[in-house]
Amino acid sequence: AIQMTQSPSSVSASVGDRVTITCRASQGIRNDLGWYQQKPGKAPTLLIYSASTLQSGVPSRFSGSGSGTDFTLTINSLQPEDFATYYCLQDHNYPCTFGQGTKLEIK
C-alpha cells in the first residue's frame, strides 16, 4: 500500500498567519490527492481534490499544490474557524491511504 507521510503532526499559529502542511507519498500518485478538514466531533469535509482544485464552497484562502510524491496545503490569513485537524488522502489506487493528520491549534 502507498504510505502517506504528513507533517507536521501539530502546529500552533495565530489568526492572520499563513500555515503550510505537507504530505509525501511513498510512490508517485500523479495528482490523486485530497485534503480534508475535521473539527472535533464532526465528520471530515473535503477542501481540495486533485491536489489543487478547491471544492465548491471552500474559501479561497485554502490552496493546494504538488504532483507525484510531494504535496502541500496552504492556508492564508488563518481565521478562527480554521483551527481543526487536516488530513491528506491518496486515491491513486486501492487501498486508499490517509496521512497521519495535522492538528492546527491557536497560539
Partner 1 sequence: EVQLVQSGAEVKKPGESLKISCKASGYSFTNYWIAWVRQMPGKGLEWMGIIYPSDSDTRYSPSFQGQVTISADKSISTAYLQWSSLKASDIAVYYCVRHGTAFDIWGQGTLVTVSS
b/e map 18-31, b = 16+ CB within 10 Å: ebebbbbbeeebeb
Rule CB under 8 A: is residue 1 a binding residue for partner 1? Answer: yes
Residue 50 contacts partner 1 per CB under 8 A: yes
91 is a contact residue toward partner 1 (CB under 8 A): yes
CA 62 – CA 57 distance, rounded (Å): 11
How distant, in Å, are the alpha carbons of 34, 83, 89 from that of 96?
11, 25, 7
Residue 24 CB, shortest distance to partner 1, in Å, is 16
CB of 97 to partner 1, least distance (A): 6
Q: Which residues bind partner 1 (CB under 8 A)?
A: 1, 34, 36, 38, 43-46, 49-50, 53, 55, 87, 89, 91, 94-101
